[in-house]
Amino acid sequence: MTRRPTAIMAPRAHRPRISEALLLCGLILSLSCSTVPITGRQQLNLIPSSTIHAMSFDQYDQFLQEHRLSRDRQQVRMVERVGRNIQRAVETFFAEKGQEAQLRGYEWEFHLVEDEAVNAWCMPGGKVVVYTGILPITRDEAGLAVVMGHEIAHAVAEHGAERMSQGLLTQLGGMALEKALESKPAETRSLFLAAYGIGSQVGVLLPYSRLHESEADRLGLIFMALAGYDPHEAPVFWERMSASKGGAAPPEFLSTHPSDQSRIRQLRERIPEAMEYYRP
């Protein structure tokens, strides 16, 4: 009588566990999806807004304590003015869509810091920083609206939360954030810093994916248009940004936001859509 080989068969006791693990992962993915506004893309999001906002606000306060705020009243007022205009545009957009809940817990702040770096960023909950080094390239309010609209779009589209969710799933087995903070605080903090691009210095952003950049470009155009700024200024700004490197190492903003002719072309292609929202 021929014996059936058994060496290559997994023990029966393990099979249900593997199936359960796969089922659990599928359940996590199916129950933890959100939708990016305007684009409609489904994204993984395991992060409660209240928790991520609390972490963001702590990091933001730390940054402000360690950096010198600008004393140029005119420039400070301009950053605040443009920021508030875009804030109202974002709130108007979500209100018209009946999605005000997506902005629940936002505590908007706009600060200009004295730093020669060509940079700007927005953390979850509407915490925005603009560096004085980028102002010679933005030149005016419209140019600044391009930058702030783009960065705020990253936050509103929850790109950082999506990246952190991917990290929770792949590195911590889909563990809930609150549990991860309790049982693996160091690993969770590292995930947060990586997801929001915060390296050795708070506010130094790591590159977003091409998909996230494309979404932020599209949403940013619409938000600046709703705020009363002409979307035609966006490709003009990026042309100035691209030219600013002058053959040297790219500025910080370019290292995280690839600016090339294809991007400028895509911005021009999206202007007709943004003009539908333009309210001068």
* 160/93 Cα distance (integer angstroms): 21
- 258 contacts: CB under 8 Å, gap ≥ 6: 207, 210, 213
Judge contact between 102 and 34, C-beta under 8 A: no
- 129 contacts: CB under 8 Å, gap ≥ 6: 60, 63, 111, 112, 113, 120, 121, 122, 203
Among residues 151, 158, 233, 252, which one is catalytic?
Answer: 151
Tell me, yes or no, if 178 is annotated catalytic.
Answer: no
* 167/33 Cα distance (integer angstroms): 15
* 103/82 Cα distance (integer angstroms): 19
Q: What Rg, from alpha-carbon coordinates, does the chain have? A: 22
Return the number of other C-beta atoms located less than 10 Å from residue 84's C-beta: 13
Active-site residues, by number, are 151
